[in-house]
């Protein structure tokens, strides 16, 4: 009588168990820290400089780099103003997609990809908080109650394109999103984490 094969089968490459615990810790540490830094910095700057108003610039490098509070009621460059709920839904969908891809389908095994998407998640969290109107927008018009708080200002008058002079104000969450996006491009075009050697049959 043939003996049944009772040897343990290797975990599927797509299984949740295949993602090391360190990847969870790295991802959530970066995402939570990034989101926290964004929210704390916005709270501090707006408490210090107040709501947006004329002549509210404070220069770190004169006429180049400074701080100026502003409210963005839309998305990139103010596009889609008034449709905060659309961007909020898209943010939630993107966050769920990231978590599913990393920890259900196992993409978090790739260290670079795990860190890149942690930056993206931190940025999503910081701006989603504002879009949901969870910050104190007392004193602002109703259409700004779900706007995103921005405060980092760049001015480079030598660049003649209007969009760069000044560059639209942004925040730490935007910086996290851009950093994560650049890392994803590098990952796609240049970098691959070495795969572990397969054991001999």
Kindly list the catalytic residues. Answer: 150, 174
Sort 1 into a burial class: Cβ within 10 Å, 0-12 / 13-18 / 19+.
Answer: exposed
Instruction: Tell me phi and psi for residue 96, to 5 degrees.
Output: -65, -40
Token duo for residue 1: 């009588």
Q: How far is CA 41 from CA 35, 70, 72, 92, 116, in A?
A: 10, 14, 16, 23, 22
């Amino acid at each position: 009588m043939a003996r049944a094969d009772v040897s343990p089968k290797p975990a599927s490459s797509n299984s949740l168990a295949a993602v090391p615990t360190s990847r969870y810790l790295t991802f959530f540490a970066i995402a939570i820290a990034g989101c926290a830094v964004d929210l704390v910095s916005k709270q501090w700057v707006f408490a210090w400089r107040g709501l947006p108003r004329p002549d509210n610039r404070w220069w770190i490098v004169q006429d180049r780099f400074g701080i100026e509070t502003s409210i963005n009621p839309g998305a990139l460059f103010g596009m889609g103003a008034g449709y905060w709920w659309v961007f909020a839904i898209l943010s939630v969908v993107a966050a769920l997609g990231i978590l599913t891809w990393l920890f259900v389908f196992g993409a978090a095994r790739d260290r670079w990809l795990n860190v890149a998407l942690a930056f993206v998640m931190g940025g999503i969290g910081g701006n989603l908080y504002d879009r949901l109107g969870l910050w104190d927008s007392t004193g602002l018009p109703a259409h700004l109650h779900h706007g995103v708080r921005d405060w980092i200002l760049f001015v480079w008058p030598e660049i003649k394109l209007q969009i760069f002079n000044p560059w639209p104000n942004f925040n730490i969450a935007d910086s996290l999103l851009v950093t994560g996006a650049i890392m994803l491009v590098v990952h796609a075009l240049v970098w691959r984490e070495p795969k572990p050697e397969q054991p001999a049959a």
